Structure 1
């Protein structure tokens, strides 16, 4: 009899606890866009990142389980300590449930650590280091953009196959640049090539002349820019001024945004090769989203902005299905559901890594372009197994 009573009590408690757990905290699903609003990544993220998140919330109906969705934003000023402070305040005081965007590797790693400590969701759509899943996986973290391995695997191989046997790197001197160069070097050397030299520069450098002259005099087949945003575009512009683009050396980038190429112009950027997770003109679904985005911002979306839309959409669907915004529960649902990625197959792996097939693009020559945003020519699709690292076995149980 006592055992029967105990079982009945346990059942009653489970029935009481079930609805209490399946709820939206604070009666609001609050998503924070932590981005660069004023620095070198403002074009690839910035205001466009906020618009993308707002579009996703609106398209999802603006509610989860009847509770409103709210988008907040802040500028991390490209400082990890500032980003960590904002993340802590958002999670602890302002009841933010999920943070998205996070350009710059050091910032993404810092906020990822805070999210794990606070048991809140973080969705990284800009920072690219593969360490975000290979080393620092978390049950509440997901990595959406093409990481450093995906960015280098297709691009380095394609350039090598076109005669790029020797390489010289001009690398931004922070964790992302180091990771990008390291993984590209691994690919080049595995294919039998070699790296002849490296120049490193701080973020937001104004003068690249000494680095470019060293690269030019090295005799390397390829000058590779392991940088992003303003660092990348300023280096390519100055390379053009020094005549590198007209010389025998091939110039290549890795983490390149459509706004970079638009700003550089086709006469300067033509022939650059790189891989991308998203291009606005890849299919009907991407074109429809891009046109809506352009009407609000005046520009086509970058892959970061498109991935913010994808990630926020997926998060809201998962919260609706889970019936709660509790981080582990939502992330478990996110990993179980297929990802709506502009009509392309995509899934979230157990470690939070978004898997899809990147595409290798080449910048068109001016004569081949049919409009101001018609900038890329697709060269080949890179299978996800070739692009992404295998999952770290230590992360196989995520989330849990």
Structure 2
């Protein structure tokens, strides 16, 4: 058997260990592994009529090629937000121009080409690693007859159908570390710290990082906030603190009551514009209202920089190993998952059948803007 593997969307710590696990387990079975570079852009840009010229879009994987990759973060296969089912004209490879018709949105569906690539490369099964966007196209290929085994990853931990996605634990660990480091500067100048974290639609990263770092307030994507009430709360937090400072973390997808999500640029192939900037705007508003100086910091890519922590190493390697084991058992069309603390699988298209969001009633105080854990017994490890 020959397996194809790719990583799409944002990078997270744990991708390389998963690639390594798939490669090593497949090699033990005598199978070949081919990595597509830059996510779904790899098969989109590989030309079956020019295999030698297209070799740059592939990475041949074997135990020696992946021997040390699990010691670092990111992905050796690189990544992109390409969707071969929705390709803009300027992103269409030259050799595909004139071969497909535009749909009513002015986009090209190049899925027949991707299937031809899989056939030309003799790919028997594909292992995409990504968030719901990347995996949604994997589900599309499965519907077209391709054998697909999906692996969920995202710092936001918001892929529907699993309790855990690769990258979440490391992102929380990094966030807690940096939040606590910022206490020294914030306290030294007796300011209010506004710390922006990744989190488009789900505020779980801000919720859990804020809970563990014991910040004064945490703003999540699911609950619009009143900036005047928040400012009063932060002033009181600052007055009650012997070191005379306070801290609030905010999901990049959070929004003020009556306001809009802060985003910029053109939408990507999955309809998402870049987020970021709500922390800076919030800091300006808090300073205007309170007159107190602000420490404004977006942790951004620092949340997913560096090597994975032990939990992400464990989950990534387990997901990769499980995907190959199940293929060996003749199964496919599944997504790796953790549910109720156990490794399991769900149908591969589960990721597009719902949304995973913070359980606000159980985990959040919408008036005080802070985590409120109503119950721990019987809850998953991350209370979510």
**TM-score of the two chains, using structure 2 as the length reference:** 0.42
Higher relative contact order, structure no. (Cα contacts within 8 Å, ≥ 6 residues apart): 2
- Structure with greater helix share of residues: 1
